Amino acid sequence: MDENRRQAYLNLINQLLNCSSGEEAEILNVNSDFIDAGLVQIMEQVADYLANHGDENNATWLRNLAYQLGEVIAHHSAVIQTYEDFLLEVLQATADSNGNAQVVYELLESNTDKLDHILADRLWHRAILALNKTEIDAEYLVTVIANFSNRISEFTLGNKANNIELGIVGYKIVLNVFTHEAFPYEWAKAQSNLGKLYATRILGEKATNIELSIEAYYEALRVYNQEDFPYEWAVTKNNLGVAYRDRIIGDKANNIEQSIDTLQAALIVRNYDDYPYEWAMTQYNLGLAYIERIYGDKANNIDKGIATLKAALAVQTCDEFPIDWSITQNALGLAYEERIQGEKAQNIEQSIAAYKATLTIKTQAAFPVEWAQTQYNLGNAYGDRKTGCKANNIEQSIAAYKAALSVRTLEAFPYEWAQTQHNLGNAYCNRIIGEEPENNLLALEAFKASVDGAEFLREQIISGYGTKQQLAEDWNQSYINIVEIFLKLGKPTEAIEYAERSKTRNLVELILTRDTHTIFPPGVVTQLEKLRDEIASKQYQLQTATAENPISLAQHLQQLRQQRNELQDKYIRIGSSFEFKQFQTTLDDHTAVVEFYITGDKFLVFIFTRHTEQPIVWQSQPQDLEKLQKWVSGYLRAYQNHKRHWQRRLTTRLDLLAKILHIDEIIQRIPKECDRLILIPHRYLHLLPLHALPLAKGDFLCDRFFEGVSYAPSCQLLQLTQQRDRPNFSNLFAIQNPTQDLFYTNLEVEAIRSFFCSTEVLAKQAATKTALSVSQNFSSAHCSHFSCHGEFNLASPLESALILANKERLTLGEVFGLNLNQCRLITLSACETGLTDPYSISDEYIGLPSGFLYAGSSSVVSSLWTVNDLSTSLLMIKFYENLRQSENLEEGDVAIALNQAQKWLRNLTLEDFDLFLEQYKPQIEKILAKLRPGQRSLFKESLKQIRQRQPLPFANPYYWAAFTATGI
């Protein structure tokens, strides 16, 4: 026995002997790779040793466990033998019949229970073992396996996902023998077939599968050129065109154009005269591409697609090619449903007629997957139908969706299952027949199922902010619908839990992983890290198609994820497990939370404290949301295009926003004893200075709460940052005026550094990315202050940045790579450092604050617009002066200090301003001495302009309200 294997057995046995009662199964599941006869043998030896040394109880327990595992292994061995017998039988039948479909399918049909991961595993291992033997005719064997792969991948019975995986495994074996160098034609054929299988693959991430498909087709085209293999070249071009049409990664519009160009190239060979059938198939594919086309006029593109599909039907008649005819009819149904030109009602009738025609051929028994797709399409068409009885149309829509779900299961077709459940939920919401409460409950069940499908799909993604964000946007409406239905049912707690599930999920998951060591006990951390490493490794194998047994691996991954989630939930419940009551207990007695949530026709406000039995819910009227959207649109347009006008009208705009949001009504619902407020905005509300909203009595929202108004992206993220213990606040790291064009920045940093015991300042040209990266003080600082320029990149938020010396940019993507485990506060004293994407519906809060929260800071102070140099410096100096009063910062102190500084600046008179300048006269004179005469003149001119703004030069919210405190 290998010594490493033996040691692994002993380690596993040690874990079993030291685990708590009931944890044995979990440990064995995690270590399933080591459960074999060798383990049983070592367990018996250890049991003998324990008995000989007086530990009879553990010896008996271990012997019993060894016996049970032995029984399981023996049974497993018997099962494996059954699979191997079947594998030999089906491969022999394939060989004898030269891959005859009738012969092979008859055998497969009677053994559908064996078409799973075990068979895939046996196929791989037995084939590889055989190919290593010199007496085996390798070419003959892989030819048989290729024929079997063709048959199994086209087999319509059993589990479709498993059948495709078996085909992929088979072609991977083929490529071990038919190499590009030795067998170029056979290699290209295998690559082409592999490309088709990846294109239809169900397991793994769809985007990755399509990329693998495209890669395989390009490999095939290394051999299949137009001159030597025109037919094969055109077939591969056709398939490549389809793959580009379905592609998820990259720009959709460009992918469609690539698809159209590739398909039109295929028509050079696949022309009507020489290959009428193939010509029709490419016309069909081209028709779908035109319908999905983004460039050009949409209406004309759809009509061109319809004409192309009809051209295909000139060849694909029902009598000669019934299957192809039905597929094209289904595509016509989709095209007519989307058609812009012509009468809408008539277009939908044509769509329904086309779908019904499809179903005459695509029956459930013969074509379950295609039948389900057509039923789904028919459900959509009946839901949009303009003619006939509306109530009956909705019933037919519901019936069609239910029919589709008999095939579209979560396990086999997670994306399609979730998609169909969502539409079924909409149908129940619109239902006329039946009682409204019952229909609401049915709709709720469907939407929850849709969300479960989205969560399942989410687990399949290894990483990638963009992909997960797109997933969140795709299923955002299901979350909204659930929230609205729970409120109709009088269940606000459940409503806020689902609202939270749709917020900042990616950032929450990243922080949970990063802060594992501070959230969970050491023993649990070890288990979680092992599970996460194993999940990541196996997920990578599955999605990059390097797994020997993808079917088995997919099932094992689900078990691993469930174990991980159950273990995490014992300590903190977030994501799909978020519990409102658990979060509520983290609040103190004087804190209130106001959480906004924007739905399709209104905005909601959840109001709660530690002692609220359930959230108080305030709901706007539809016209309020319309006014809000119009206000935000005007606000952003003015800010982007007319900043001076935006600045002058900011006070008026905020007055109107306060009325639109009914802020006084909302605040009245907060208990009087609450003197701290946490605001949790939603979507574009993250961009607005809600703390600066004026109240009816003439004060501002931040004045109402003496202990401060702070922000959080979500309850979950706040719950995670509360786990961070950052008691110290004596070390400062600062970036000072790296672009050397901010006069008051120098005063700001010089004043702030006097409040700290230990400081490191990278000033002017010394503030480079290299200096930042090598600074030990930066990584260990309790407070990091960036006094510089900042910019938000709307097109690519991860490229938002702080500007350092030599125009170097510290991007948000790079911030995510920092490690700031000692940091209590990050202050981004720069422009637009708190902005996020106003158009995203996923509420992922992708901005510089999120990056620094992830990097380790408990609090981030950032700005919502392009700020003024002088007013920002005044605000920051006062902010730190307030913080200095707290030797050890407590939760909420940052918000208190910031709000007090904002109130001070707002009420600052010219006399007080002069006193401030006198207080910092030494620092100012020191800075002035280093300036050129022209720069000193500019300084004096700026002071003159300020004195003209009497009596309160900084009363406009533009000067005092830009900065917000996010976190704790």
Write the pLDDT tens digit of every residue in 826-869: 999 999 999 988 888 777 778 999 999 999 999 999 999 999 99
Predicted pLDDT at 116: 84
Predicted pLDDT at 35: 81
Predicted pLDDT at 381: 97
Predicted pLDDT at 57: 86
Predicted pLDDT at 841: 79
Over range 104-123, report the average pLDDT. 87
Angle between helix 206-221 and 230-246 (nearest 10): 160
Predicted pLDDT at 710: 96
Predicted pLDDT at 544: 63
**Does residue 101 surpass a pLDDT of 80?**
yes
What is residue 592's three-state secondary structure? strand
Q: How many other β-carbons are positioned within 10 Å of the β-carbon of residue 65?
A: 18
Question: Using CA of residue 34, residue 78, residue 142, residue 211, what is the dihedral sign?
Answer: negative
Predicted pLDDT at 21: 67
Average per-residue pLDDT for the chain: 91
Angle at CA of residue 703, ends 697 and 705, nearest 5°:
115
What is residue 609's three-state secondary structure? strand
Size of the chain, expressed as the number of residues it contains: 968
Q: Model confidence over 745-794: pLDDT tens digits?
A: 999 999 999 999 899 999 999 999 999 999 989 999 999 999 999 999 98
User: Within its chain, how far is the Cα of 37 from the centroid?
Assistant: 42
CB 50 within 8 A of CB 62: yes
Over range 5-13, report the average pLDDT. 86
**Does residue 16 surpass a pLDDT of 90?**
no
Q: Model confidence over 794-814: pLDDT tens digits?
A: 888 889 999 999 999 999 999
Determine the residue type at 631: W
Please give, one letter per residue, the 3-state secondary structure of 822-891.
Answer: CCCEEEEECCCCCCCCCCCCCCCCCCHHHHHHHHCCCEEEEECCCCCHHHHHHHHHHHHHHHCCCCCCCC
Lowest model confidence (mean pLDDT) among 30-44, 87-101, 771-785: 30-44
Determine the residue type at 175: L
> Tokens 């198609």 correspond to what residue?
545
Tell me the percentage of the chain whose pLDDT exceeds 90.
65
Angle between helix 184-200 and 206-221 (nearest 10): 160
Predicted pLDDT at 325: 97
pLDDT band per the 50, 70, 90 thresholds, residue 548:
low
Work out whether strand 859-863 and strand 789-791 pair parallel, antiparallel, or are unpaired: unpaired
Predicted pLDDT at 891: 64
Tell me the percentage of the chain whose pLDDT exceeds 70.
97
CB 747 within 8 A of CB 927: yes
Backbone phi, then psi, for 347, in 5-degree steps? -60, -45
**Does residue 930 surpass a pLDDT of 90?**
no
pLDDT band per the 50, 70, 90 thresholds, residue 547:
low
Predicted pLDDT at 536: 78
CA distance 241 to 171: 22
Closest of 235, 192, 240, 248 to residue 216, by C-alpha: 192
Q: Model confidence over 228-287: pLDDT tens digits?
A: 999 999 999 999 999 999 999 999 999 999 999 999 999 999 999 999 999 999 999 999
**Does residue 413 surpass a pLDDT of 90?**
no
CA distance 195 to 213: 4
Predicted pLDDT at 397: 98
Over range 542-549, report the average pLDDT. 66
CA distance 373 to 24: 44
Beta-bridge partners for 825: 783, 859
> Tokens 């072609």 correspond to what residue?
171
CB 567 within 8 A of CB 532: no
**Does residue 495 surpass a pLDDT of 80?**
yes
**Does residue 888 surpass a pLDDT of 70?**
no
**Does residue 463 surpass a pLDDT of 60?**
no
Q: Model confidence over 661-676: pLDDT tens digits?
A: 999 999 999 999 999 9
